[in-house]
Chain A
Amino acid sequence: MKPYSSVLKLRLLNGMQYRSAALAGVATQFFWGFMYIMIFEAFYDQVLHNPPISLKELIVYLWLQQSFLAFIMLWFRDNELFDLITTGNIAYELCRPCGIYGYWYAKLLAQRLSSALLRCFPILIVAFFLPQPYRMTLPPSFTTFLLFLVTLMFGLFLLVAISMFIYISVFITLSPVGSLLVFGVIGEFFAGLVIPIPLMPSWLQEIAYMLPLRLTADFPFRVYSGHIPQDEALMGILLQLVWLAILVLLGRIALNKALQKVVVQGG
Chain B
Amino acid sequence: MSLYFNYLFILFKSQMQYRTSFWLLTIGQFLVPLSLFAGLYFLFERFGQIKGWDFYEVALCFAVIHMAFAISECFARGFDAFSSLVHNGDFDRVLVRPRSTIVQVLGSKFEFTRFGRLLQSVLVLVWALNNLAIEWSVIKAITLCLMIISGVSIFAGLFILAATLCFWTIQGLEVVNIFTDGGREMAQYPLNIYQKWVTRFFTFVIPFGTVNYLPLMYILGKSEGNDLLYMLTPVAGIVFLLPCLLVWHIGVRHYRSTGS
Contacts and interface: CB of A to CB of B under 8 A. Distances in A.
A and B together in one complex: yes
Interface of A: 21, 24-25, 27-28, 31-32, 34-35, 38-39, 42-46, 48, 52, 175, 177-178, 181-182, 184-185, 188-189, 194-195, 199-201, 204
Given A39-B189, A46-B49, A178 B24 contact: yes
Interface in B157-190: 173-175, 177-178, 182, 185-186, 189
A36 to B, nearest CB: 9
A204 to B, nearest CB: 7
10 contacts: A28-B174, A31-B182, A42-B189, A46-B48, A177-B24, A178-B21, A185-B34, A194-B35, A195-B42, A195-B43
A42 B193 contact: yes
A192 to B, nearest CB: 10
Contact of A194 (B38, B45, B175, B177): B38
A48 B48 CA distance: 10
A178 B20 CA distance: 9
Interface string B22-33: 001101100110
Interface in B38-70: 38-39, 42-43, 45-51
Give chain B's interface secondary structure class: helix
A46 B47 contact: yes
B195 interface: yes
B28 A177 contact: yes
A35 B42 contact: no
Give the size category of B's interface with A: 35 or more
Contacts of A52: 46
A194 B42 CA distance: 10
Contacts of B204: none
Contacts of A28: 174-175, 177-178, 182
B3 interface: no
Contacts of A34: 198
A204 B38 CA distance: 11
Contacts of B174: 21, 24-25, 28
Contacts of B48: 46
A255 B46 CA distance: 42
B36 A194 contact: yes
B28 A42 contact: no
A25 B176 CA distance: 11
Contacts of B178: 27-28, 31
A100 to B, nearest CB: 26
B47 A194 contact: no
B194 interface: yes
B161 to A, nearest CB: 16
A25 B174 CA distance: 7
Given A42-B50, A46-B48, A175-B21, A189 B28 contact: no
A38 B27 CA distance: 31
A34 B193 CA distance: 13
A175 B25 CA distance: 11
Given A39-B50, A39-B189, A43-B50, 5 more contacts: A38-B195, A42-B193, A181-B24, A184-B32, A204-B42
A199 B42 contact: yes
Nearest to A21: B174
Nearest to B18: A175
A194 B193 contact: no
Contact of A201 (B21, B42, B49): B42
A76 B189 CA distance: 27
Given A25-B174, A43-B43, A43-B50, A177 B21 contact: yes
A212 to B, nearest CB: 18
A35 B185 contact: yes
A28 B27 CA distance: 27
Contacts of A46: 47-49
Contacts of B45: 201
Contacts of A175: 20-21, 24
A28 B178 CA distance: 6
A76 to B, nearest CB: 13
A42 B38 contact: no
Contacts of A199: 42-43, 46
A177 B23 CA distance: 10
Contacts of B47: 43-44, 46, 48
